[in-house]
Structure 1
Amino acid sequence: MPLAALAVGAAAGTVALAGTAGAETTDIVRTGAGEDGYSSSSRPTYNFGASDTLVAGRAGGDTMVTYLKFTVASPGAGVTVKNARVTLTRESRTLPSALTLSKVASTTWTEKTLSAKNDPALGAAVSTVKPKSDAATVTFDVSAVVKSAGTYTFAVTSKVANTPARFRSSEAAAGRPSLNLTVVRPAATPPATKPPATTPSKPPATTPPTTPPTKPVEATPTTPANCVVDAKLVPSCGVLWGAAAGGFSDVPRDEALKTFEQKTGRTSTVYHTYHKGDELFPTKDEIAMTSDPANPRTLMLNWKVGYGTKWANVAKGDQDARIDRLSTFIKTNYGTRKFFMVLHHEPENDVVATAGSGMTAKDYAAMFRHTVLRMKANGVTNAVFVVAYMNYEKWNNSPWWGDLYPGDDVVDWVGVDTYNNAQPGGFHTGDFNYMMNRTTDKAKFPGWYTWATTNHPAKPIMVAEWGVYDSSPTVVGKNKADVYATVLPQLAKMPQIKGLVYFETAKDQNGHDIRMDDTPEALAGFRKIAADPRFNVKL
């Protein structure tokens, strides 16, 4: 994900019910709570912002109020909001016979400081529901309030005595609060037979100097025949196509991926998912997605084995029980089917360069090596290991960056997560070549693709995450479409790239909308990429 590791807190994602070509499309745009918490009248100075539970109702003399804050990104040009609903997932215990959601005028409160001593005042009631006592979820209709992009704050209360409701918060592992907008998008414009060759603008002088975008060149049309993968999942010709869909959302990843495939018109051969710590995977849903004969897929499983500890501790063997448990699970549940495994993607963001911190670049390399060798010793023979960098100039120029590489003997693919801004003149604006090879100083760092092909010429390159966002004050469909138009011709000039995996989210941790369909023009441009025959690789 762009510029940071996978966030546990909620953000936004998209799941859609796509219409037919040339017709309007109805989507469900889901936004997670950016802030949530609850206050307790009997504990007026207590803060519950870090809790994975939200409580609303009365118990004895205590009145508890749940607060929710959602920041809704623009659903795109020409899009209308049909309705809006807030959904909460019951965490435990029975629900009261009535719950009320009220509007809150203040949007400045934060979950870290919220308490009964300073909680914001409640406004008018928006929706009252009477759920079944054992209902899995509770949904409030907020269509009268939420009609467009903006920040919305609500409170949930109950007057029922001694039956407080308990819901999962944004800190929970699943079932986090969501604001779901049903939106209607205009008909997509059919893709042009030949996209315009454009050169995105150079970033202004106030941003770090960057490599000027390369002018698109026409790719030589080719139709790969009988492209297959070898034991390391390297295609004999062509490029593997994949996606991590529904990022930063509560939408199930398999559901989000199927929607992504429906919109883009191609099965994502690489299905990218994320796990951490003691989680066991592949999950049943992941296994089902890679057991579909009509839509052949392989997994790219991202694992933070060091979650809750330090890289140095993993390297010393402190988490061997965790590694062994997962190894046994994989052998038992996934057999010998090949899959990609990324170990702690984007490590740069978590490096603490101080010697002895346990989180230095060398500690990362040691953690990676130990995990790979341990899994192989445990008999896991079907994992293809990927190291995935961030491609952010600040880190690439750091003196410790080169120490991250774990070694050719434990790395099968060299990967990168990289993103571009489609805003003309904006920071990190550029074409696909710029996305893969940008630099602020070639003497310090020659550009990521140049570095990879020079230092590791025998390793295939996996673009493990890529995406395009538009930071323009008003999103312009042509902007993303122009960047997408550079992908195919410039990809043809980078033969070491053997995998291309899009990261799709309506709102990442920096507020970027990386959906490929936020405008009809963007979707048309992206569908042109997806339709290219170079991605016809058989597993």
Structure 2
Amino acid sequence: MIRRHARKFLPIAALAIGAGAGTTIHSGVAAAAETTDVVRSGAAEDSYSSSARPTYNFGLAPTITAGRQAGDTMIGFLKFTVGPLGTGTTVKSAKVTLTRDTKNLPASVTLSRVADNAWTEKALTGKNAPKLGASVAVAKPAATANAVTFDVSSVVKGAGTYTFAVTSSVANTPARFKSAEAAAGQPALDVTVGRPTVVKPIEDVKPTKPVTTPTTPATKPTTPVATTPVATTPAAPVTPAECKVDAKLVPSCGVLWGAAAGGFSDVPRDEALKTFEAKSGRTSSIYHTYHKGDEVWPTKDEIAMTNDPAHPRTLMLNWKVGYGTTWAKVAAGAQDARIDKAAAYLKANFATKPFFLVLHHEPENDVNPAAGSGQTAKDFAAMFRHTALRLKADGVTNAVFTVAYMNYEKWNNTAWWGDLYPGDDVVDWVGVDTYNNAEPGAFHYGDFNYLMNRTNDPKFPGFYTWASTKHPSKPIMVAEWGVYDSSKVVQGKNKAAVYATVLPQLAKMPQIKGFVYFETAKDQSGHDIRMDDTPEALAGFQKIAADPRFDVKL
């Protein structure tokens, strides 16, 4: 297993060559011998650049893309740091191994040297990417090869920092390799070294049997593993009182914790939330509920949940204002009476406490791209704008407007997806609903980085990368997230393994300011998204809930 940014080097194979049972060494003579082992380093930094998207940063993407597609040239960048190898150690050879992602590989992939080591994965873009040097190695992989290996012995001669670029001139078949953010198969630099040993006189050492250190298996772990964050100066510990929210519910530090409990069940939402809180061990600062059409919201029970002094909470209300009609008609004013009624109720019953208002969450599912349907992506954006502006004009001052997408590759890849965004002037938070499968190797299986940044199209960099790049001033709300296990026989370790990746990888996504778990025993597809379906899963989830970064004071 490769641990990214590790400062210790992992011996892959150490072959002991020296005095063993039956070996005779004359007294007073020191015989020179050598052991050979492999020092493995994970990528300290990795990302890629795009000529078609020169301002995008892909440092948190689970893949490194290199090649040409539809006029876009993408170049992968890898930085490895090899630490001290020891006195008298000689480098025998070195190789870089990259593991293929899901797409076929091009017929030719080139690894080049890069002299500039100053770049970082969080800042690299097409505009500031370092210049490429001479080619080091060219690989001719099979389209479905599991991995590609490059001989870099001509470059790696000892300890130091080494940057390489990955390119391909093959048109419309870009290479997609797993990055250090992937759950398994991260990039590796293996340096084979020889280490001198001295065999002491026979009277000074007892004969021993030859010892061989087992070779580390070449196969990668099949369960998600936490990616070690980029080394930074540790932040000073904070107390709950230090992390507070502003008028738009953006915390000064930390992350708001929340839940939508009891989904798709007859259990009252407030009762389900209290049970969820008792099991997880933390009050849900965000209480997520759902309404549509002419329903009155927030209900008296929902308001009561925000008035509990022992458990301070705010509301996240999903409202499908266009229920029973079309987005285009809402935008044209056909539902202004519905909007005005909601505004009047808010001002009379819930006028001061800020709350999140999500207008028609997961709109992608309801888009009809046909012209005149009233349900195009642009119609959604117009509906959102009209509703938000109308509520503001009606005197509603405490609604924090949130757009909530669904993180599904099918929709991200459509031509109309970019038209959904209503505009920075009416959006306070950018949200996403996203779910992972804990069954190893199954569809949508992966770690937390995959949960937030999965993509199967090089044109879309992953949700977190997209939102943080295109809307850097907007806090990101994980409005719904959850983990299910589609295994025939559910194993608690599967969910626990996914949960174990959340905290270290969340630390690398500073724009996430809200984090809401969706809990249900059975969703529309029959998935069990409860965090306590097994004792192992519950224990893993409780570790997340106990983290002090969620100690935000409302």
**TM-score bracket for this pair, using the shorter chain length:** 0.5 to 0.7
Pick one of 433, 454, 458 that aligns with 2:473.
458
1:309 matched to 2:325: yes
Q: Map 1:102-251 to 2 at 5 A.
A: 213-214=182-183, 215-218=225-228, 223-225=237-239, 226-251=242-267
Report the Cα distance in structure 2 between the residues aligned to 1:313 and 1:535, rounded to whole angstroms.
40
Residue-pair matches, total: 336
Counterpart of 1:417 in structure 2 is: 433
Q: Note the C-alpha offset of 1:464.
A: 0.1
Report the Cα distance in structure 2 between the residues aligned to 1:277 and 1:203, rounded to whole angstroms.
42
Aligned to 2:259, the other structure's residue is in SS state strand
Q: Note the C-alpha offset of 1:216.
A: 1.7
Report the Cα distance in structure 1 between the residues aligned to 2:236 and 2:273, rounded to whole angstroms.
27
Q: Note the C-alpha offset of 1:476.
A: 0.5
Report the Cα distance in structure 2 between the residues aligned to 1:375 and 1:335, rounded to whole angstroms.
12
Q: Note the C-alpha offset of 1:211.
A: 6.2
Tell me the alpha carbon deviations over residues 358-398 of structure 1, each in whole angstroms, 9 at most, x when there is no partner.
00000000000000000000000000000000010010010
Larger radius of gyration between Structure 1 and Structure 2: 2
1:294 matched to 2:310: yes
Counterpart of 1:502 in structure 2 is: 517
Report the Cα distance in structure 2 between the residues aligned to 1:364 and 1:296, rounded to whole angstroms.
33
1:277 matched to 2:287: no
Counterpart of 2:354 in structure 1 is: 338
Closer, same or farther: CA 222–246 of 1 in aligned 2, 3 Å = farther
Pick one of 377, 391, 399 that aligns with 2:407.
391
Q: Note the C-alpha offset of 1:224.
A: 2.4
Closer, same or farther: CA 202–522 of 1 in aligned 2, 3 Å = farther
- Counterpart contact for 2:262–2:273, Cα < 8 Å: yes
- Counterpart contact for 1:210–1:439, Cα < 8 Å: no
Tell me the alpha carbon deviations over residues 27-66 of structure 1, each in whole angstroms, 9 at most, x when there is no partner.
xxxxxxxxxxxxxxxxxxxxxxxxxxxxxxxxxxxxxxxx
Counterpart of 2:25 in structure 1 is: none
Closer, same or farther: CA 318–450 of 1 in aligned 2, 3 Å = same
Root mean square deviation of aligned Cα: 1.9
Counterpart of 1:134 in structure 2 is: none
Aligned to 1:251, the other structure's residue is in SS state coil
Counterpart of 1:153 in structure 2 is: none
Aligned to 1:501, the other structure's residue is in SS state strand
Closer, same or farther: CA 315–438 of 1 in aligned 2, 3 Å = same
Aligned to 1:362, the other structure's residue is in SS state helix
Q: Bigger relative contact order, structure 1 or 2, given CA contacts below 8 A and separation 6+?
A: 1
Counterpart of 1:327 in structure 2 is: 343
For structure 2, list consecutive stretches of 5 or more residues without a partner in the other structure: 1-99, 105-143, 145-175, 184-224
Closer, same or farther: CA 414–431 of 1 in aligned 2, 3 Å = same
% identical equivalent positions: 77
Aligned to 1:312, the other structure's residue is in SS state helix
Q: Please give the TM-score of this superposition, normalised by the length of structure 1.
A: 0.61
Q: Please give the TM-score of this superposition, normalised by the length of structure 2.
A: 0.59
Closer, same or farther: CA 210–218 of 1 in aligned 2, 3 Å = closer
Counterpart of 1:475 in structure 2 is: 490
Q: Note the C-alpha offset of 1:335.
A: 1.9
For structure 1, list consecutive stretches of 5 or more residues without a partner in the other structure: 1-200
1:352 matched to 2:356: no
Report the Cα distance in structure 2 between the residues aligned to 1:367 and 1:373, rounded to whole angstroms.
10
Counterpart of 1:104 in structure 2 is: none
Q: Map 1:11-50 to 2 at 5 A.
A: none
Report the Cα distance in structure 2 between the residues aligned to 1:363 and 1:323, rounded to whole angstroms.
17
Counterpart of 1:485 in structure 2 is: 500
Q: Note the C-alpha offset of 1:210.
A: 9.8
Which amino acid in the other structure matches residue 251 of structure 1?
V
Aligned to 2:478, the other structure's residue is in SS state strand
Q: Note the C-alpha offset of 1:203.
A: 7.4
Counterpart of 2:377 in structure 1 is: 361
Tell me the alpha carbon deviations over residues 75-132 of structure 1, each in whole angstroms, 9 at most, x when there is no partner.
xxxxxxxxxxxxxxxxxxxxxxxxxxxxxxxxxxxxxxxxxxxxxxxxxxxxxxxxxx
Closer, same or farther: CA 355–210 of 1 in aligned 2, 3 Å = farther
Report the Cα distance in structure 2 between the residues aligned to 1:211 and 1:386, rounded to whole angstroms.
32
Counterpart of 2:157 in structure 1 is: none
- Counterpart contact for 2:327–2:380, Cα < 8 Å: yes
Which amino acid in the other structure matches residue 234 of structure 1?
V
- Counterpart contact for 2:430–2:476, Cα < 8 Å: yes
Point out 4+ residue stretches in structure 1 off by more than 3 angstroms.
201-206, 209-212, 217-223
